[in-house]
Amino acid sequence: MVKYPGVRDFAGLFLLPGLAAILPWRLCFRIFHRLAGMDFLYRSEVEAALAGVACFAPPVDKAAWSKASRLVWLVDHADLYLSRFRSDAWLYRNVTVTGDWPVDDNFIAITFHWGTGMWALRHMRAHGRKVSVLVRGLERASFSGTLLRYVYGKLRLLVTAQAGGDCLTMAGSKSLYDMKRKLKGGSCIVGLLDVPTDSPRNVLAAQFLGRTAYFPRGLLFLAVNSGVPVVLYSMGVDRNTGHRHLVISDPLTTHSEQALLDTLAGRLTELVAQDSPAWHHWGGVQSFFQKGFFKATDAS
């Protein structure tokens, strides 16, 4: 049993996922599969996730669900190192793709905190697209626990920008203007919809997990008013092999923000039902059902 948070954070964010940078992926994934059975790994995250999912669809086998969740965390963190140290050849060997990105010079891609998404950015870039990801800035005060979590968060933002090929777009009062400018400049925009927001005036409601949930409106507004194609994508991981599956939708109907949100929230519900442990927000799930509530989350 590892008692010290700093040791757990170093192991879970740097040491163990960093093995992906030096080992063949198949061997590395077999090691990950074994490590995922150890309950010291991502203990606080898994405990919070179990408490969250218990309010909606309690897993029949908590141990198996926890192991699956830890494995997704491990692979997601490993992607930071894989993306930094592997070429596009790794992508074509280890990712199956269903669907195509729009043929236009730029588009808006919307996804969720489900599965492992880093290689989707690499796939866009490999197809000649320059991508800017909409992200929240990191403040040291918002990170509980050790300094290592903050350091990892900053490193992940750096690698995300490298994966997409364009500088990040920071969420805030000027983000809508920045995204419009980048679209006009030929970049594509990637944003994640399942982010709780602290602005009760800038949300839209939709059904999610059988309840009324609130999602940020900014990306939806941009999608409806941009005049460029909008697609939804997701990337799951096969927990038996470590192989990824990138699914890209056809362009979505964008005649209204509410219609678009209903489609996106419906797809998120489907993904969570398909693979519950792969959703990263179970620990803070209740915040989606409280209008105007935002709780900053650690990078891990």
**CA–CA separation, 188 and 179 (whole Å):** 9
Comparing CA positions, the residue from 140, 14, 156, 134 lying closest to residue 74 is 14
Using alpha carbons only, what angle is made at residue 279 by residues 275 and 282, rounded to the nearest 5 degrees? 120
- Residue 111 three-state SS: strand
At residue 3, the pLDDT reads 60
Q: Would you write out the chain's pLDDT as a tens digit for each of its 300 residues? A: 446 678 889 999 999 999 999 999 999 999 999 999 999 999 999 999 999 999 998 999 999 999 999 999 999 999 999 999 999 999 999 999 999 999 877 999 999 999 999 999 999 999 999 999 999 888 776 666 678 999 999 999 999 999 999 999 998 878 999 999 999 999 999 999 999 877 777 899 999 999 999 999 999 999 999 999 999 999 999 999 999 999 999 999 889 999 999 999 999 999 999 999 999 999 999 999 987 554 433 333
Cα–Cα distances (Å) from 67 to 49, 61, 277, in that order, read 12, 10, 9
At residue 292, the pLDDT reads 59
Do residues 48 and 2 touch, judged by C-beta distance below 8 A?
no
At residue 173, the pLDDT reads 74
At residue 298, the pLDDT reads 38
Cα–Cα distances (Å) from 90 to 4, 66, 80, 131, 240, in that order, read 35, 28, 14, 20, 18
Residue with tokens 């891609």: 109
At residue 140, the pLDDT reads 73
Q: In this structure, how many other beta carbons lie within 10 angstroms of the beta carbon of residue 115?
A: 23
At residue 6, the pLDDT reads 85
At residue 296, the pLDDT reads 37
Phi, psi values for residue 135, rounded to 5°: -135, 160
At residue 294, the pLDDT reads 43
pTM metric for this prediction? 0.92
**CA–CA separation, 248 and 238 (whole Å):** 17
